Structure 1
Amino acid sequence: MRDIGDIDEIDDEIDGVTLRVYQLRVTHPTDRVSQLAVRAGVTPADVSRAEQRLSVLGLLQPSPGGGWVAISPESAAESLLAPMEQDILRRRIAMAATREQMHALSGDYLEARSLRSATSSIEIVSDLGNVRSVIDDLARNCTSSVEVLSPGGAPNEEAMRAALPLDLDVLGRGVRLRMLLQYSARGHRATAQYVETIVRAGAEVRCTSVLPSRMLLYDGACAVLPFDPGNTGRGVALIRDSAVLGFLGQLFAHYWEEAEDYLEEEAAAGAGEASDAVLRGLERDVLLLMAAGKTNEAIAGQLGISQRSVSRLVGRLMERLDATNRFQAGARAAQRGWLAPAAWP
């Protein structure tokens, strides 16, 4: 039987000399090498190399009476590939057996997972690979809701690529996905594409000024928080304590109610101009910081947006208040009750 390793030699294409020698062996099976060389117009050495090549491929086989016998390509292929097909079959059988053994562990895994949840209210997970495995497990097993706080500027692009298939799977199973970003994320193209993709799949995404910490909350039953907010490389804490989870759920709800739709551009603020008693999220935050005496630069840094955006919002607010300076704008906003919580949507 031909060794499977010989098949590697098939990677090279059959050249013209080899093909010509094969054709001549079909029509002149008893010719000597020198005779075949004359017919092909090549040297005897070329013929010998071609015949060796054809032998490896199974297209020539030694004749009992000496010389070579040409074999049809179909028969040669069957002989050449049979060992490989047998090896593939053995591998498939081994893969199926391994898969069956792994699936048989599902019951033990679920039992151990339930015991872990019941006995440990806080669990620390270090190493990026372990963290991703835990998040993957939580995402694939949640059944009702996923709530996300993502502070800072634009999320890490690698993290978004890793999260997207999980998010789409979650949404495809009918799980409610709500995500909170900061205003500064709006200016990032990759984030906008990611948000548009998950929103089309049914997710809800909003923006706000400041978020306290990164958080993932699954089914209200397990929260993932950074173990050290100042050093994301140190791992995460898994929280299952019901009292803490209740607080985290209320925290998310508070910021969610204060936020505005991610896809709603700042320029759409005209919808709120019909009533002087209504301020939108970003306008409200800028006005409060203006009233506190913050400069445009300081406001931009605190809200995570550009100074140009701040200048545009300040100008729009002063126009609505018919004010000629920031002090006058603050005074008139207070007179109209814009600085009171009742004026916030």
Structure 2
Amino acid sequence: MAVIASRYNAIMTVYDEEDRLVYANKAVRNLYTFFDFSAPQTFETMIRSSLEHSEKARAGRPGNHDDIIAYVNMQRLNSRLEFLREYPAKLICSHIRLPNGENAQLRIDPSTVGLDNYFVNPSSSFSLMETIRRGEDAAQKAAALDCLSFGVAIVGVDRKVRHSNAAMTDQLRRQDGITLDDLGRFVTTAHQGAAELARLIVLGCVGKLPHATMTLSIRGSVPGHVHSLSVSSGAQDSNTAVVILAPARVDVASVSSVLRRDYGLTQAESEMAAMIGNGMTNEEITRETGRSLDTGRGHIKSIIRKVSGEIATSNQTGISRWAAVLWAITGAARSRGV
């Protein structure tokens, strides 16, 4: 609780077995300026003072303070009590009864932890602390997926996207082979493959795919570019499918910048390695760059010499595989929304 309070600048107080205040962090003192922290305080004196100031500020409904305090104290006998306070600020309040008899209280701004709708489902089995931890865990997993150049999406049986990593979000935004239709469903931009993709997603959601992973090819937005796409079942009982999309081409600029920075290749060498990663031959690269074949061969020899310890085979095939792998793990080093 103390770690979460510090991380999110939340309020934390601790009361002993007699309900006397024994700890109040800085956030409490900054927000509840009408409390006299130099004098001994109890839970009752603090909540009574808060109710009085709330009524003066017309931020709370008039009521019998004794009845309110008695009700709250009764509820605090449980191991967990959570509610929403509107004064002096909108805060989710969580009371936890500790094994030693003390009572710890965390008050946190719901917007700072993405929990504005926390009380929409009052029967939630997760406590505030557990919900925050799960959110942080999900954010870390999402950040890991954002590092991949492969697009990854979790899709429901209705074909609506539950989550997508940065690469898939970008692919959908550019409508490069895939998009969201008017109903928000995950679809191909071309008619070809549309029905098969829809079928595989539904089968993946209900766990009825004929194999663990099914693949298909879809047309990209650039003529001649074909993306590879796979569908597999999501987590058990989640009723979701995992859709992974591999871009048709390596991003030459992205990979070449990594090759120059981390492997000491020249501008020309890094561009050639990235183009080889796209499956281009020396002749095709020569035509595109305007360099001679001999220059191209010289670049290949230099690339192999500089990265001989990185590639599986010291030839153009080895360079191609290596560049493609680098693109897969570094090409999506991007920020969401960019």
Structure 1 or 2: more strand by fraction: 2
Taking structure 1 as the reference length, the TM-score comes to 0.23
| Larger-Rg structure | 1
TM-score, length basis structure 2: 0.23
Query: Which structure is higher in helix share?
Result: 1
